[in-house]
């Protein structure tokens, strides 16, 4: 009886250390997901092309409107110059008319018109010269009136132009809003910090890697094949360092990682926090070099994903599907991507990136981390022992 109990106990212990997950996935399901992503990529690519064409057309519309506005501004400038010129002519004609009136009033003995009139040799010539002066007066008055009418027309045209500029500016604002909307639409066609094309490539790498490890379409990953056992604990990813920024709320959003650095960052090797399998390595949309590793803990029958960001370079022979231990360095600390100084951005989550439905792609992963943060998840600090607070150093992993 004792022998039977012993055998049962051994079997129970063996089963306990076999990774089990309610979201077990077979290689065949991976292949289906790969095809789904390829189909989605093709569909999104067509949508992107259409969106890009709309953006191009909208930019052309805005450029045409700006040209029209500039032309209108030039016309207004010309109108204003004409008004100034017309006003100068009116002043001149008014002065001439005033001098003519002075002739009629005999107000100025030196008046050029008086000299002209009284310079006549005969009565006939005098009458003729007076008639010329009267005609000049009428002509000046006529020109002045025409100039005044032209000024009024120019002012009316200026009002029309200003009204049209307001309309064009409103249209420009609408088109710019449309550009923002199209830009958001374009961004929504990519998956978080990874493009659909990158996601396809990752799934293809995973499928190829699993096939190399002997997985068949009906095999459950991590159970029937690609089994590496459980982690024995979690360690710090760098030998010496200190925390520079916490996991959690930051700059109006959730900072999904725990940032760390040291006094010699560019020569600092980055190690896995536990034994595991490399899921993928990639360069995000901002240019940061990233490595993602999957881990399994039999202690609580849980899968983890660790993500290492802003690396300056990868270690040699790093690829999807490679099994690494805590003693295998995966790259060097760096400052790539959207970063302010060399550091390691370490993320951890209780799911399998690109495998579990809750983390099946980058958007799903980000949403999942946000949700568990709101439920009290502490990020890497809840899994790995780090000194409390910022800039408190450690000297061993």
Dmax over CA atoms of the chain, in Å, equals: 160
Q: Which two tokens stand for residue 146?
A: 């025409």
Answer yes or no: is 2 within a domain: no
Residue 349: which domain range?
228-382
120 belongs to a structural domain: yes
Pairing of the two strands 313-314 and 269-270 = unpaired
Q: Which of 80-89, 344-353, 356-365 has the highest mean pLDDT?
A: 344-353
CA distances from 213 to 33, 175, 277 (A): 19, 54, 12
Q: What mean pLDDT comes out for the span 135-145?
A: 72
pLDDT in tens, 226-274: 777 788 889 999 999 999 999 988 766 788 899 999 999 999 999 999 9
Angle among Cα 216, 217, 218 to the nearest 5 degrees reads 95
> Among positive and negative, which fits the CA dihedral 64, 70, 75, 76?
positive
Q: Which of 136, 166, 188 is the last residue of a domain?
A: 188
The predicted-structure confidence for 12-70, as pLDDT tens digits, reads as follows 333 333 444 445 678 887 777 778 767 766 766 676 677 778 778 878 887 887 788 78
Residues 106 and 239 in one domain: no
The single residue listed with the structure tokens 């045409």 is 64
Residue 342 belongs to a domain: yes
Q: Is residue 241 part of a domain?
A: yes
Question: pLDDT at residue 216 above 50?
Answer: yes
Confidence band for 225, pLDDT divided at 50, 70 and 90: confident
Whether 246 and 371 share a structural domain:
yes
Global confidence as pTM: 0.58
Do 254 and 151 belong to one domain?
Answer: no
CA 183/CA 188 separation, integer angstroms: 9
Q: What's the token pair of residue 389?
A: 């607070």
**Domain at 156, CATH number:** 1.10.287
Instruction: Give the pLDDT mean for 333-341.
Output: 88
Contact partners, residue 321, CB within 8 Å, separation at least 6: 205, 206, 208, 209, 210, 212, 213, 226, 277, 278
The verdict on residue 182 lying in a domain is: yes
Q: Which of 140, 171, 188 is the last residue of a domain?
A: 188
Number of structural domains the chain divides into: 2
238 within domain boundaries: yes
Q: Which of 134, 156, 188 is the last residue of a domain?
A: 188
């Amino acid at each position: 009886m004792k022998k039977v109990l012993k055998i049962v106990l051994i079997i129970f212990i063996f089963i306990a250390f076999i990774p089990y997950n309610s979201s077990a996935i077979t290689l065949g399901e991976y292949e289906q997901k790969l095809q789904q992503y390829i189909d989605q990529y093709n569909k999104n690519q067509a949508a992107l092309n259409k969106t890009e064409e709309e953006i191009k057309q909208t930019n052309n519309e805005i450029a045409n409107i700006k040209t029209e506005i500039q032309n209108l501004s030039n016309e207004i400038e010309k109108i204003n110059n004409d008004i100034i010129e017309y006003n100068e002519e009116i002043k001149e004609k008014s002065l001439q008319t005033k001098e003519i009136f002075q002739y009629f009033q005999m107000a100025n003995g030196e008046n050029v018109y008086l000299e002209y009139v009284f310079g006549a040799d005969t009565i006939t010539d005098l009458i003729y010269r007076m008639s010329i002066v009267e005609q000049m007066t009428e002509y000046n008055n006529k020109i002045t009136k025409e100039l005044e009418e032209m000024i009024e027309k120019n002012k009316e045209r200026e009002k029309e132009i200003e009204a049209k500029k307001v309309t064009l500016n409103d249209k420009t604002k609408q088109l710019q809003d449309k550009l923002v909307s199209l830009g958001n639409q374009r961004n929504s066609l990519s998956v978080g910090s990874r493009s659909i094309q990158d996601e396809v490539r990752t799934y293809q790498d995973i499928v190829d890697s699993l096939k190399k490890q002997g997985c068949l379409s009906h095999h459950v990953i991590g159970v029937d094949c690609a089994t590496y056992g459980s982690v024995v604990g979690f360690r710090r990813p760098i030998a010496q360092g200190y925390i520079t920024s916490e996991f959690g709320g930051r700059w109006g959003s959730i900072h999904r990682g725990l940032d760390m650095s040291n006094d010699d960052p560019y020569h600092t090797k980055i190690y896995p926090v536990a034994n595991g399998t490399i899921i993928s390595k990639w360069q995000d949309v901002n240019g940061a070099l990233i490595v993602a590793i999957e881990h399994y803990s039999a202690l609580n029958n849980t899968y983890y994903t660790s993500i290492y960001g802003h690396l300056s370079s990868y270690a040699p022979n790093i690829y999807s599907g490679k099994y690494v231990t805590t003693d295998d360095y995966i790259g060097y600390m760096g400052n790539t991507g959207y970063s302010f100084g060399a550091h390691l951005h370490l993320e951890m989550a209780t799911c399998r990136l690109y495998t579990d439905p809750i983390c099946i792609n980058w958007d799903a992963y980000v949403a999942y981390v946000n949700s568990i943060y709101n439920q009290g998840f502490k990020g890497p600090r809840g899994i790995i022992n780090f000194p409390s607070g910022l800039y408190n150093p450690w000297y061993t992993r």
